[in-house]
Structure 1
Amino acid sequence: MTFAELGLRAELLRALDDAGYSVPTPIQAKAIPTVLQGGDLMAAAQTGTGKTAGFTLPLLENMSRKDVSGQKYRPVRALILTPTRELAAQVHDSVRTYGKHLPLRSTVVFGGVSINPQMMTLRKGVDILVATPGRLLDLVQQNALQLDRVETLVLDEADRMLDMGFIHDIKKVLKLLPKQKQTLLFSATFSDEIKQLADKLLNQPELIEVAPRNTTAERITQRVHPVDRNRKRELLSYLIGDGDWKQVLVFTRTKHGANRLTEQLQNDGITAAAIHGNKSQGARTKALADFKSGKVRTLVATDIAARGIDIDQLPYVVNYELPNVPEDYVHRIGRTGRAEREGVAVSLVCVDEHNFMRNIEKLIKTNVEKVVVDGFEPDPSIRPEPIQLGRQNNGGGRGRSAKPGGNRARNSAPSSARKNSNGGRPNQKSRQRRA
């Protein structure tokens, strides 16, 4: 099958040809016809399989069928919501890439930068808006836009958008939208709880799953290195140096942990930068740019990066600390092995995290290979210790002690009154919304 057979107009086919794409991926082949028909959709596919094009291409096609070139003011007709700034920017890049031959206007808005230029752009009118929820609601309060003409709503990384950290803002946004609209949910993972919640928000949605739910890509080689908790940094530096790893994305649970590990790696002679919710947007953009260009060898991140980094040839992902929510493991390692390339995902697992690893293996239905590195054999006399847990996807929250290696309920953390950089709103429950 080709993109032309899917019913896309010539301008979109030209843009795809310019980008070097001619054959749709499985998720694109299944999602595009459904979106073109106008129905609601829940689509699940592994990361790196082209989900973004699966909704941007038919969205652009449907919107192009209405001639708006003569309209003086352009109301927002398509709204795409993402959980992080990086992912919002990435999605908007795709909208611009595929829509460059079309007379449609688009923009992206998120926190961490001045709101005034965003307000000016929106007041001129745009057809397609990509946004993070907090900043979107701020702009609505500033009377910079109205959402009563939206025809299509897209929730990208829908599992994160519908969890307790975002659901309150999502419900606020839904009240601003017309009742009659198309709603599209795209994600790599859908828990049963999220599916039940989505059924209440969508109208008889079609469900597309191009791979078993919550599975990882076969082209990713997964490996666990058992190691004592106080030797993880030493082992990480050894692996990077001995293996001559040139580009490594490393995940920690907390922002403080990311900063500390970055300093330690730099002291070991390994160029490193940190990216997390407490960093300014300028610092985050620079860190990511330096990492992509090779100026920085190691990028240390909290789970904010699992939903916003798209590097086709990223060879290595390291779980320096395992996530306490198993689905986050799928998103983390999905940063490698993208665009049909091979990748390696390594997890450094101490005795405190054994239950985390068992829960992950249960979710992905795979027993990950355990390899003890010579010289880093775990000490069997060391006992498990409690792990401090907030909502660990970006290292935020006040934290709470978990039982040794235990897995805490997804929404049981106390709410926080901190403001987030996604629009200045308080956090909700366990999933902190700092984007």
Structure 2
Amino acid sequence: MENFLSNFWGEDSLIFMFSALVSFLIGFITAWLMWGGKAKRYQREAEKWKKNHDDLQLKFNNLKGELDLKEADLVKAQREAHEAIQLAKSIEAEKDKWQADLNAAIEDSVKAQATASSYQATIEDLNNQIIGLKSLNAELTEAVGSGGGSQAQTAPEPSRLEALEEKISKLEAEHSSILMGSSPDATSRLEALEAKMAEMEAENNALKTQLESAASVNENEGGDAPNEEEIFAPAPDMAEVDKGETLTLGAVAARDDVTAALGDKIPAATEADKDDLTRIKGIGTFLEKKLNGLGIYTYEQVSLLDAELIGKVTAAIEFFPGRIERDDWVGQAARLMDIKEDAPEALSPSAVFSTKSDDLKTVEGIGPKIEKLLKDNGIPDLNALSEATEKRLREILFAAGSRYRIHDPSSWPGQAALATNGKWEELKELQDRLIGGRDVSG
């Protein structure tokens, strides 16, 4: 034991223990430093995760608040949507009623205009007759003045002619009232107008009977009885250009201007040079005869019409202003003339119409403005137009304003279908019966 203790406290043992102690201290210090670095790193990461957790918690709270607001907005929007649906249904019902009223008004307007036009023609004819009657009355009064009282009494009294003139003036006022739409009840006014016309015609027939009697007496006395053409001569503001055709002086002047332009601005032509002008969209047999009466027979002549001559031709044939430009008579005639020269066998109604499927102006009643309106409302071409319902088209026109509501789209889908299927002959026959897209053939 003493040897062991003496060896333990020996120099070698002390050095060994000291070395072991130093090694332990170094290991401990190294372990402590390593543990301290990791601890700090873990602490930093823990702080970072805690910060992220706090940020996420804040976002969660914000999103939860927004969700609550959105849910409240959704409930409100659902309630407003329900109210809007109910309002839309009531508006739709009211719109259908307005549309029905509008359709009825348009129908009444067309009927009133047609009736007024027939009355206008009758008024003009009666004006012509009254001028002739006044002239004849003056001649007869002068001719039979020396033949005794009985003959003078046979001639119609000037006061009766004046009364007849006054009735015509009132009739014209009624006609203007109908055209302007100022009458609250167009049907009753037209019936009253018709009754007045019947009364005036009866009086006019009695007056004609007196004239015939007076003419017979005058002829027996040796005078010259006026013939029928003298009795019913045109009024001073009218002129007879052909047998049975009477034009206003303005139309006669325009006719003279167009005739003067033949051989100068446009080449002259004769019946032998005649082209089928009804191939031009907008020209039917009636207008073709009118144009032929002006000396216009060929596609070449129509293709050379300038703005001034178009105005003259419009006035001369008493056509709707602007219609020639809208239907593009000049462009159609140029195309037909080229086809006639290059391949006459290919001349067909298809040459009249544009080959572009998106040219909605091919349809009678559609001009550039309505074409743009339809395209803006999802009807880009003829195929889409052929599939559109009349109700949809009327809704588009109604929403565009009063200037578009007067148009009648009832024939547009049918025209578009014919054009889409290349049935040009049928399309042209249909369009010859249309004015502004409305069938006026009766």
Query: TM-score with structure 1 length normalisation?
Result: 0.19
Task: Flag the structure with higher helix content.
Answer: 2
Larger radius of gyration: 2
Task: Flag the structure with higher strand content.
Answer: 1
Name which structure has the greater RCO, CA cutoff 8 Å, separation 6+: 1
